[in-house]
């Protein structure tokens, strides 16, 4: 059992917030494969405070989509408070605060990873949430803005604010999503605080997750890009926590079947036209191991009909596939 405040999970394996990816169908689909706790995509407090319809849609979820965390990004205390009031009428089991987004449009306005340069401001914003929220509160940070940031100070600011856990992405803002997750810095942050630390960064399969656990000594794992086109990752990572569990990778036929099921639920939610277009990235990810897939991907990138996309999925049956050991 793993706890974040009052929330109990069977395994410390969590689906990360991923803008443009972890929408309602994505979360529901991954839950069928063992994902227990998931997060919304990053929600801008200001848009929520202004009651934007598009933002409301991102908050809606049925009870099957739980436990679910709401992730907010903010820099203004007033908008943050107002967004918390509005979000209170939706049922979330956790509130997470984003202090890790590296995108210029976010950091340029002092939000996301920009707050890593101001641990005191970060702490003040987090205190607004911990004071108001009736559910556990977490923060998602990086190891710093750049390699000279005070990474330990960032971890302490999160703990001082009264958060129940912290997600630490082992890259600096300068690194964006590039190579080189720094396990040492995550471990140093973990050693400086006593709340649970969940490690993020290249948690892609059994071996990379094991490395995160052993090198960074974290309490839990955050699965991000490793889930895209690979909902089986949750079962794979469970074997790290329960030695009795066995994991076998799906064969190509099972993979194609899963991809079609995902396409269905995705298009049901987004409508077939928009759904087919936004599913392309998932098709690319699912077909990673297929031989000579480039030509098929080029076809997929021109398709806008659901039926055509299904046909292309079916055409992969019998293709050569390099199954990872």
Ligand X SMILES: Cc1cc2nc3c(=O)[nH]c(=O)nc-3n(C[C@H](O)[C@H](O)[C@H](O)COP(=O)(O)O)c2cc1C
Query: What residues line the site for ligand X (CB under 6 A)?
Result: 16-21, 41-42, 71, 98, 100-101, 140, 169, 177, 200-203, 224-226
For the bound state, the minimum distance from the C-beta of residue 15 to ligand X, rounded and expressed in Å, comes to: 9
Q: Measured from the CB atom, is 266 or 316 closer to ligand X?
A: 266
Q: Measured from the CB atom, is 37 or 203 closer to ligand X?
A: 203
For the bound state, the minimum distance from the C-beta of residue 179 to ligand X, rounded and expressed in Å, comes to: 10
For the bound state, the minimum distance from the C-beta of residue 278 to ligand X, rounded and expressed in Å, comes to: 13
Spatial contact of 52 and 15, defined as CB atoms under 8 Å apart: no
Q: How long a stretch of residues is the chain?
A: 325
Q: Measured from the CB atom, is 110 or 299 closer to ligand X?
A: 110
Pairing type for strands 38-39 and 68-73 reads parallel
Among the listed residues 102, 70, 69, the one whose alpha carbon sits nearest the alpha carbon of residue 83: 70
Q: Decide: helix, strand or coil at residue 296.
A: helix
Residue with tokens 């709401």: 70
Q: Measured from the CB atom, is 101 or 276 closer to ligand X?
A: 101
- What are the DSSP calls for 123-164, one per residue? HHHHHHHHHH-SS-EEEEEES-SSTTS-HHHHHHHHHHTT-S
Out of 35, 101, 163, 313, the active site residue is: 101
How far CA 10 is from CA of 35, 58, 98, 141, 225, in Å, comes to 10, 26, 25, 24, 22
For the bound state, the minimum distance from the C-beta of residue 76 to ligand X, rounded and expressed in Å, comes to: 18
Q: Measured from the CB atom, is 41 or 65 closer to ligand X?
A: 41
For the bound state, the minimum distance from the C-beta of residue 290 to ligand X, rounded and expressed in Å, comes to: 22
The DSSP 8-state label assigned to residue 290 in this structure reads B
* Cα 201 from Cα 187, distance rounded (Å): 13
Asked about 123 being catalytic, the answer comes back as no
> What residues are annotated to the active site?
101
């Amino acid at each position: 059992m793993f706890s974040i405040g009052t929330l109990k999970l069977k395994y410390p394996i969590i689906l990360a917030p991923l803008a443009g990816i972890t929408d309602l169908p994505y979360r529901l689909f991954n839950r069928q494969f063992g994902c227990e706790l998931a997060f919304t995509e990053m929600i801008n407090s200001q848009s929520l405070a202004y009651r934007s319809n598009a933002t409301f849609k991102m908050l809606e979820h049925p009870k099957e989509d739980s436990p679910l965390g709401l992730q907010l990004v903010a820099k203004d205390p007033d908008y943050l408070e107002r967004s918390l009031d509005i979000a209170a009428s939706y049922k979330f089991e956790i509130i997470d605060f984003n202090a890790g987004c590296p995108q210029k449009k976010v950091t340029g306005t002092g939000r996301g990873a920009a707050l890593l340069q101001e641990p005191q401001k970060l702490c003040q914003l987090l205190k607004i949430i911990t004071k108001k929220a009736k559910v556990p509160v977490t923060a998602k940070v990086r190891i710093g803005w750049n390699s000279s940031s005070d990474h330990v100070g960032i971890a302490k600011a999160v703990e001082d604010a009264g958060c129940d856990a912290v997600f630490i992405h082992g890259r600096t803002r300068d690194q964006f999503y590039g190579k080189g997750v720094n396990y040492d810095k995550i471990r140093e942050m973990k050693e400086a605080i006593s709340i649970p630390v969940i490690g993020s960064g290249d948690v892609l399969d059994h071996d990379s997750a094991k490395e995160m656990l052993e090198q960074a000594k974290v309490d839990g794992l955050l699965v991000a890009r490793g889930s895209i086109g690979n909902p089986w990752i949750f079962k794979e990572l469970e074997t790290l926590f329960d030695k009795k569990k066995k994991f076998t990778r799906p064969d190509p036929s099972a993979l194609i079947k899963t991809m079609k099921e995902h396409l269905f639920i995705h298009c049901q939610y987004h409508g077939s036209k928009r759904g087919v277009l936004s599913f392309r990235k998932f098709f690319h990810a699912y077909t990673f191991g297929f031989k000579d897939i480039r030509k098929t991907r080029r076809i997929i990138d021109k398709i806008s009909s659901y039926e055509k996309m299904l046909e292309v999925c079916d055409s992969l049956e019998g293709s050569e596939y390099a199954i990872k050991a």
